[in-house]
Structure 1
């Protein structure tokens, strides 16, 4: 399994950050890697809620909430995609620091294609994935601080 962690400090209280992060169907508003998104379940929040993310071109993610601890933790599990992920969880952790919030994102993933997938991860995927998560956090910071 591949994994890494990256974090950012947002100049807003945890409740404001959670309001954006927990609105799972609206991730397109702050994640520059998502062109469009919407919930795909009747339930729009909490364990079991699902969403669809259009990543541009023909790329997409179907995801489900598998951990929901308001103002603390959120984990989205990839349940369908045309990207090379065999499985993947995107874990968010929020930690208050005074009037600020430290947000950590730590994906845990496995690529398709066995040994070739492991090689692709080392040579290409991990670096690009990290850049995507850094951009996601920067977008979340900008969105929360401006609203």
Structure 2
């Protein structure tokens, strides 16, 4: 399994930053590469077991993800269990750390297993580079979103 870690400091209190990620079914409101995201299955609340699908703007790529760990205002762990991206499986861990009353550090660690056997292993350095770039963009777009809408109130 390959791991990548990125972080972003957001100029907002932890509760505001948390709320932006806690709206699990509507994550598409800030990442520019997502066309849509929505909850699937019976569990319609952001918590362990909640499942969503993310559809990317290319019109082809999708991820199906499930929350496997949920610690309010601290950490969300999401398992990727179905995708047509070049990975067999993956896990994303979002950790939220207060940096004072109005700053929050979001750390995202992503681990994945590439598809395509030996070819996937050979492409891993390129994949890591691309994923790291995308994850940095995701955290930056979240920071921009939260800082722009700092009065944000999101329903869980």
Fold match (TM-score > 0.5): yes
State whether structure 2 residue 108 is matched by structure 1 residue 105. Answer: yes
Deviation at 1:19, TM superposition (A): 0.4
Whole-Å Cα distance in 2 between the matches of residues 136 and 42 of structure 1? Answer: 27
Helix, strand or coil: the match of 1:4?
Answer: strand
Partner SS for 1:35: strand
Measure the CA separation in 2 of the matches of 1:3 and 1:19. 26
Gaps of 5+ in 2: 150-156
4+ long deviations beyond 4 Å: none
Structure 2 residue aligned with 1:25: 25
Shift of 1:85: 0.9
Deviation at 1:114, TM superposition (A): 2.2
Once the 2 structures are TM-superposed, how far is the Cα of residue 41 of structure 1 from its aligned partner? 2.7
Q: 3-state SS of the aligned residue for 2:34? A: coil
Q: C-alpha root-mean-square deviation of aligned residues, in Å?
A: 0.9
Give the Å deviation of 1:79: 1.2
Equivalent position SS for 2:47: coil
Structure 2 match to 1:83: 85
1:59 and 2:48 correspond: no
Give TM-score, length-normalised by structure 2. 0.90
Structure 1: gaps of 5 or more residues: none
CA distance in 2, matches of 1:112, 1:87: 9
Aligned residues between the structures: 146
Paired with 2:130 and 2:37, the residues of 1 have a C-alpha distance of: 21
Measured in 2, the distance between the counterparts of 1:102 and 1:58 equals 32
Provide the rounded CA distance (Å) in 2 between the counterparts of 1:49 and 1:113: 29
Given the alignment, which residue of 120, 124, 136 partners 1:121?
124
